[in-house]
């Protein structure tokens, strides 16, 4: 086949294959454009999973009429001018491929208007070909309608999933966008029904409440740290809200949702002492980093990033998350809530979301402008300018009847101020009377005269998440009323042993249940790990030495990581060729195959840093598990009390080395409720 240049139509459709994978890809590109345009409210409406219709409406800056055609050309963008601009780009999009790729595989209609323009612009383009361009009346902002996706590429349409599955993907995307930009009001509608609606008040925990529910929102820890080369803030869940997959590990880099094995491993490493195997944390973390320290131009859909200092980023993220978890009392509380009650709560939460009346993009902008006019008391009302906004007559009638005959300069000023104050007060009163409904809609407050009063009850009624914020307990600090603190020991009431496995402790208004095996296992584990961290471990000499033959790759890893092995207590010498003699091994790792441990550490070190320590931790955890007191073993009260005393000295006494909880609690209120003592 001879070499030839592809047609523009073929080029556009190939490019669209990289950007437009499914309807969710279109929604992502269009909503990110809305955010880049400064929109404060964005509405997304879909039908048939976005296959037949996607409508995205925003109240952003819009597109000038003379730039509408240019916006649909490939690589046309207002975000960058040269390659150097990529390093400093703070926008979510910059490639200039979205609109051209979308228009190439759908029937697209654009309606846009810039602030100050008399008329808007309506532009239709189908399959990459222009259909019409005309002036229309339109509000400020942009609306894009995408109809009949892949109508001209039926082969690609066959690979789409069901309408329900595609709508689910878009719903997940909208949730991530809401979490990454809490300052923007997002509304998502599917088949004419509201599925998500955020207020745009900037409070991340409110969004978590509406998306994930009260239980999740009430068990979050705030993260805020300056890591030098980048900053990180957001929310992480306590171990009790862990999940069975990584679907709830949300992290954003410069406002963009990304997938990063580096960030994921760093987070999971920090949670490792707190979670069981195959359990994953709940996180919503926003990372702000200078563009020169990362590369966002890796993936066509901008889902991946590369860091110039990956090891530094890994260690800092892991440290911040670990420090946030450290020192917190992370004892899970047992609840008797049934699945039926959980479903009823979810149904009630969805009803609350549907009942919320957050304004549409253009209506929100109108109300904000109105609110600014109403609340601006610096306008010279005596001149009639402030009153014109809400009254037909430019000057109050009383002002026309006033005559002032001052005696002196001072008296003249005082006399002039009195009628002016009276006029201003009357104008304010009339203004507040007429604008009270608008103020109530804008601020949610009650207007009485010229005073806007805020009430907590009103806030709680209009904002369900406010109840969670108000009721959420303040995290107890070290040596406050925590079970495992030196100050609380004298208030412990050791009830006894249950099933020769669990110890019951009454403290304040809760019942604590301690697993004696998990608790003893954690005590032994941290005792061993302290020896390793303080380098107080000993070496055990081998006679004769253990001889190992290594491959070229293993030999290179050993040479690069010899310091790690010697720090653990190994003594290794070359024995000729590719053979090495191990004459000493760690002396405080009992009953372990030293050959297998050495080979395992060598394999891990070739993949990632700190792997030798991880391998040792796993072996120490196994050893501690074998040495710990088992269940069905009777302990005396003195032994149990001594075990609890040792737990006080640990950095993380709440989970065994395998992530299982050592302690659970049950509140007095929960017991009363179960026995119908309270309703």
> Rounded to an integer, what distance in angstroms lies between the CA atom of residue 141 and that of residue 139?
6
Residue 499 sits in the same domain as residue 357: no
> Rounded to an integer, what distance in angstroms lies between the CA atom of residue 354 and that of residue 194?
6
- Calculate the CA 624 to chain-centre distance: 36
Q: Indicate the SS3 state at residue 224.
A: strand
Residues 62-118 have pLDDT tens digits of: 999 999 998 888 766 665 555 555 555 556 655 567 888 888 899 999 999 999 899
pLDDT mean over 456-468: 47
Note the maximum CA span of the chain. Answer: 118
Other Cβ atoms within 10 Å of 312 Cβ, number: 15
Residues 498-520 have pLDDT tens digits of: 888 898 988 888 888 999 888 88
Residue 304 sits in the same domain as residue 365: no
Domain boundary among 173, 196, 219: 196
Domain boundary among 333, 354, 374: 333
Helices (H), 534-586: 552-560, 562-568
Q: What per-residue confidence (pLDDT) applies to 299? A: 60
Q: What per-residue confidence (pLDDT) applies to 474? A: 41
Residues 185-224 have pLDDT tens digits of: 999 999 999 999 998 999 999 999 888 888 888 889 999 9
Task: Say if residue 331's pLDDT is above 90.
Answer: no
Domain tally, the chain: 4
Residue 185 sits in the same domain as residue 210: no
Task: Say if residue 606's pLDDT is above 70.
Answer: no
- Asked whether residue 400 is assigned to any structural domain, the reply reads no
Q: If you count them, how many residues does the chain have? A: 679
Other Cβ atoms within 10 Å of 267 Cβ, number: 25
Residues 489-498 have pLDDT tens digits of: 778 888 888 8
Residue 372 sits in the same domain as residue 224: no
Residue 445 sits in the same domain as residue 493: no
Residue whose tokens read 């601020």: 443
Lowest mean pLDDT among 78-87, 171-180, 580-589: 78-87
Q: What per-residue confidence (pLDDT) applies to 174? A: 94
Residue 79 sits in the same domain as residue 49: yes
Compute the half-sphere exposure of residue 43: CA atoms within 13 Å on the CB side of its CA: 20
Residue 45 sits in the same domain as residue 86: yes
- CB-CB contact of 272 with 279 (8 Å): no
- Asked whether residue 2 is assigned to any structural domain, the reply reads no
Q: What per-residue confidence (pLDDT) applies to 26? A: 92
Task: Say if residue 443's pLDDT is above 60.
Answer: no
Describe the crossing of helices 163-180 and 204-212 by its angle, rounded to 10 degrees.
160
Q: What per-residue confidence (pLDDT) applies to 405? A: 42
> Rounded to an integer, what distance in angstroms lies between the CA atom of residue 376 and that of residue 18?
50
Domain range spanning residue 380? 334-395+420-473
- CB-CB contact of 634 with 601 (8 Å): no
Residue 560 sits in the same domain as residue 666: yes
Residues 388-441 have pLDDT tens digits of: 433 344 444 444 444 444 444 444 444 444 544 554 455 455 545 544 443 344
> Rounded to an integer, what distance in angstroms lies between the CA atom of residue 611 and that of residue 602?
9
Task: Say if residue 249's pLDDT is above 70.
Answer: yes
Q: Which two tokens stand for residue 448?
A: 């009485």
Q: By C-alpha distance, which of 520, 514, 488, 528 is closest to 661?
A: 514
Q: What per-residue confidence (pLDDT) applies to 470? A: 46
HEC readout, 599-618: HHHHHHHCCCCCHHHHHHHH
- Asked whether residue 408 is assigned to any structural domain, the reply reads no
Task: Say if residue 477's pLDDT is above 50.
Answer: no
Reported confidence tier of residue 587, pLDDT bands at 50, 70, 90: confident
CATH, residue 311: 3.30.230.10
- Asked whether residue 559 is assigned to any structural domain, the reply reads yes
Task: Say if residue 455's pLDDT is above 50.
Answer: no
Domain boundary among 428, 446, 473: 473
Q: Are strands 306-307 and 294-295 parallel, antiparallel or unpaired?
A: antiparallel
In the sheet that 230-237 helps form, which strands lie side by side, from edge to edge?
220-226, 230-237, 283-289, 249-253, 256-257
Residue whose tokens read 């846009």: 112
Q: By C-alpha distance, which of 590, 606, 449 is closest to 531?
A: 590
pLDDT mean over 254-283: 88
Reported confidence tier of residue 16, pLDDT bands at 50, 70, 90: low
Task: Say if residue 168's pLDDT is above 70.
Answer: yes
Q: What per-residue confidence (pLDDT) applies to 357? A: 52
Q: What per-residue confidence (pLDDT) applies to 302? A: 61
Q: What per-residue confidence (pLDDT) applies to 597? A: 73
Residue 673 sits in the same domain as residue 586: yes
Q: Which two tokens stand for residue 434?
A: 């007429």
- Asked whether residue 406 is assigned to any structural domain, the reply reads no
Whole-angstrom CA distances from 319 to 148, 265, 531 are: 48, 12, 21
- Asked whether residue 148 is assigned to any structural domain, the reply reads yes
Q: What per-residue confidence (pLDDT) applies to 661? A: 87
- Asked whether residue 1 is assigned to any structural domain, the reply reads no
Residue 568 sits in the same domain as residue 599: yes
Reported confidence tier of residue 294, pLDDT bands at 50, 70, 90: confident
> Rounded to an integer, what distance in angstroms lies between the CA atom of residue 12 and that of residue 128?
8
Q: What per-residue confidence (pLDDT) applies to 6? A: 58
CATH, residue 615: 3.30.1540.20
Residue whose tokens read 């402790």: 505
Task: Say if residue 46's pLDDT is above 90.
Answer: yes
Higher pLDDT: 134 or 452? It is: 134
pLDDT mean over 279-285: 92
- Radius of gyration (Cα) for the chain, nearest Å? 33
CATH, residue 101: 3.30.565.10
Q: What are phi and psi of 421, to 5 degrees?
A: -65, -40
> Rounded to an integer, what distance in angstroms lies between the CA atom of residue 657 and that of residue 643?
16
- Stretch (H or E) spanning 637: helix 637-647
Residue 105 sits in the same domain as residue 29: yes
| Mean pLDDT score across all residues of the chain | 75
Other Cβ atoms within 10 Å of 558 Cβ, number: 21
Task: Say if residue 344's pLDDT is above 60.
Answer: yes
> Rounded to an integer, what distance in angstroms lies between the CA atom of residue 493 and that of residue 485?
14
Q: Which two tokens stand for residue 68?
A: 């509408």
* Sequence-ordered list of residues with C-beta below 8 angstroms from that of 560, at least 6 positions apart, any chain: 605
Q: What per-residue confidence (pLDDT) applies to 384? A: 39
> Rounded to an integer, what distance in angstroms lies between the CA atom of residue 86 and that of residue 279?
37
* Sequence-ordered list of residues with C-beta below 8 angstroms from that of 96, at least 6 positions apart, any chain: 73, 74, 75, 76, 77, 79
Q: What per-residue confidence (pLDDT) applies to 401? A: 40
Residues 620-637 have pLDDT tens digits of: 666 667 767 877 788 888
Q: What per-residue confidence (pLDDT) applies to 594? A: 73
Residue 210 sits in the same domain as residue 192: no
Task: Say if residue 567's pLDDT is above 60.
Answer: yes
Q: What are phi and psi of 155, to 5 degrees?
A: -65, -40
Q: What per-residue confidence (pLDDT) applies to 250? A: 92
Q: Indicate the SS3 state at residue 492.
A: coil
- Asked whether residue 403 is assigned to any structural domain, the reply reads no
Beta bridge partners of 547: 581
Compute the half-sphere exposure of residue 279: CA atoms within 13 Å on the CB side of its CA: 18
């Amino acid at each position: 086949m001879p070499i030839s240049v592809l047609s523009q139509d073929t080029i556009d459709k190939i490019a669209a294959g990289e950007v437009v994978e499914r309807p969710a890809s279109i929604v992502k590109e269009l909503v990110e454009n809305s955010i880049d345009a400064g929109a404060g409210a964005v509405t997304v409406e879909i039908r048939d999973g976005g296959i037949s219709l996607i409508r995205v409406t925003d109240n952003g800056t819009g597109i000038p009429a003379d730039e509408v055609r240019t916006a649909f050309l490939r690589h046309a963008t207002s975000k960058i001018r040269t390659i150097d601009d990529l390093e400093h780009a703070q926008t979510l999009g910059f490639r200039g491929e979205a609109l051209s790729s979308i228009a190439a595989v759908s029937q697209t209609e654009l309606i846009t208007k810039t602030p100050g323009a008399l008329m808007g612009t309506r532009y239709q383009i189908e399959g990459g070909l222009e259909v019409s361009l005309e002036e229309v009346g339109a509000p400020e902002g942009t609306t894009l309608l995408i109809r009949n996706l892949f109508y001209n590429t039926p082969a690609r349409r066959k690979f789409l999933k069901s309408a329900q599955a595609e709508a689910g993907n878009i719903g997940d995307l909208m949730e991530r966008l809401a979490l990454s930009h809490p300052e923007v009001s997002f509304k998502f509608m599917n088949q004419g029904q509201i599925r998500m609606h955020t207020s745009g008040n900037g409070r991340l925990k409110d969004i978590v409440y509406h998306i994930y529910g009260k239980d999740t929102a009430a068990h979050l820890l705030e993260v805020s740290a300056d890591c030098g080369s980048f900053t990180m803030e957001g929310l992480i869940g306590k171990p009790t809200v862990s999940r069975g997959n990584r679907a709830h590990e949300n992290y954003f880099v410069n406002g963009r949702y990304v997938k990063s094995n580096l960030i994921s491993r760093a987070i999971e490493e920090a949670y490792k002492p707190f979670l069981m195997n195959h359990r994953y944390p709940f996180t919503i973390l926003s990372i702000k980093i200078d563009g020169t320290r990362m590369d966002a131009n890796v993936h066509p859909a901008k889902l991946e990033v590369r860091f110039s200092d990956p090891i530094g980023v890994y260690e800092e993220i892991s440290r911040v998350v670990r420090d946030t978890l450290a020192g917190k009392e992370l004892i899970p509380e047992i609840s008797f809530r049934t699945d039926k009650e959980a479903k009823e709560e979810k149904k009630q939460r969805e009803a609350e979301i549907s009942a919320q009346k957050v304004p549409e993009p253009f209506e929100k902008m109108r109300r904000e402008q109105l609110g600014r006019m109403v609340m601006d008391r610096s306008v010279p009302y005596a001149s009639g300018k402030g009153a014109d906004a809400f009254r037909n007559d430019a000057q109050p009638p009383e002002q026309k009847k006033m005559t002032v005959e001052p005696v002196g300069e001072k008296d003249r000023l005082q006399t002039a101020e009195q009628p002016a104050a009276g006029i201003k007060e009357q104008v304010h009163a009339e203004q507040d009377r007429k604008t009270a409904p608008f103020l109530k809609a804008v601020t949610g407050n009650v207007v009485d005269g010229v005073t806007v009063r805020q009430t907590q009850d009103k806030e709680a009624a209009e904002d369900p998440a406010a109840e969670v914020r108000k009721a959420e307990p303040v995290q107890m600090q070290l040596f406050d009323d925590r079970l495992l603190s030196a100050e609380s020991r004298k208030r412990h009431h050791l009830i006894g042993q249950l099933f020769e496995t669990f110890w019951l402790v009454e403290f304040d208004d809760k019942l604590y249940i301690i697993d004696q095996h998990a608790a003893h296992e954690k005590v032994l584990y941290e005792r061993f790990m302290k020896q390793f961290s303080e380098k107080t471990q000993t070496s055990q000499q081998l006679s004769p030495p253990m001889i190992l033959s290594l491959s070229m790759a293993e030999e290179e890893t050993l040479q690069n990581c010899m310091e790690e092995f010697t720090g653990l207590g190994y003594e290794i010498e070359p024995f000729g060729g590719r053979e090495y003699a191990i004459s000493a091994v760690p002396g405080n790792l009992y009953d372990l195959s030293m050959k297998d441990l050495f080979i395992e550490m060598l394999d891990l070190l070739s993949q990632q840093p700190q792997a030798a320590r991880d391998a040792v931790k796993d072996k120490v955890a196994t050893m501690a598990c074998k040495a710990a007191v088992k269940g069905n073993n009777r302990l005396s009260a003195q032994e149990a009390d001594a075990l609890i005393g040792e737990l006080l000295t640990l950095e993380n006494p709440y989970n065994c080395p395998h992530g299982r909880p050592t302690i659970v609690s049950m509140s007095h209120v929960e017991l009363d409720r179960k026995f119908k003592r309270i309703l």
